[in-house]
Amino acid sequence: MKVGVLISGRGSNLKSLIDACAAPDFPAEIVVVVSNKADAGGLEVARAAGIATAVISHKDYPTREEFDAAMDAALQDAGAEFICSAGFMRILSDGFVETWRDRQLNIHPSLLPAFKGLKVHERVLEAGCRVTGCTVHFVRAAMDEGPIVAQADVPVLPGDTVETLSARVLEAEHKLYPLALRLVAQGRTKIVDERVVIEHETAEAQAPLMMPPR
């Protein structure tokens, strides 16, 4: 499956997907990385891996729809059949979401539907949560919403700061995103009533979808 990755920043999740795709049996390859920011660190990560990049700045387009149309063109030109958003921090237009419906994943650093949006770890600490985590989900028009493919739970430890907690969640993200993309690219997921059903799902088969595995 040919995948385009959308980024806005450092690109550590992009790197985890690139590394996963390097395995000969991985059922996806990254054909283009699109960033809305010219200085996104992830662009260097992509270039170092020999992957085509495109910078499409939202500031160059008067409307969200026109910006999204430019992104769509870059993805289509590169032959992308599927999108992974990896730290892409723009809200997408309804038209773009519909065009890529059921063909776009996003990763978010919380156990959705809790803590959508920004400053997730601050809010998790503020709320006194004992557990947090990360989620990979299909993209829908509402931000950080959509059918959930996989989640990983991460404990909140006494003395955690935003830095220590986000680092621990990020480690889980780097395992979870390749796992979720593999399932989807293998054609093992289908969406029924806006929930993801995974082929041959049993209690045991579900175990690898939880990190740490149990």
Active site residues: 108
Distances (CA, A) of 4 to 8, 31, 89: 13, 6, 16
Cβ neighbours of 131 (radius 10 Å): 10
Q: Which is nearer to ligand GAR, 166 or 189 (CB)?
A: 166
Q: Give exposure, 49-76, as e/b (b: 16+ Cβ within 10 Å).
A: eebbbbebebeebeebeebbbbbbebbe
132 in contact with ligand GAR (CB under 6 A): no
Q: Which is nearer to ligand GAR, 52 or 170 (CB)?
A: 170
The interface mask with ligand GAR, positions 2-41, x = CB under 6 A, is -------xxxxx----------------------------
Amino acid, single-letter form, for residue 114: A
d(C-alpha 116, C-alpha 145), whole Å: 8
Q: Applying CB under 6 A, which of residues 4, 87, 146, 147 lies at the interface with ligand GAR?
A: 87
Q: Which is nearer to ligand GAR, 86 or 196 (CB)?
A: 86
**Chain contacts with ligand GAR (rule: CB under 6 A):** 9-13, 42, 86-87, 107-109, 144, 170, 173
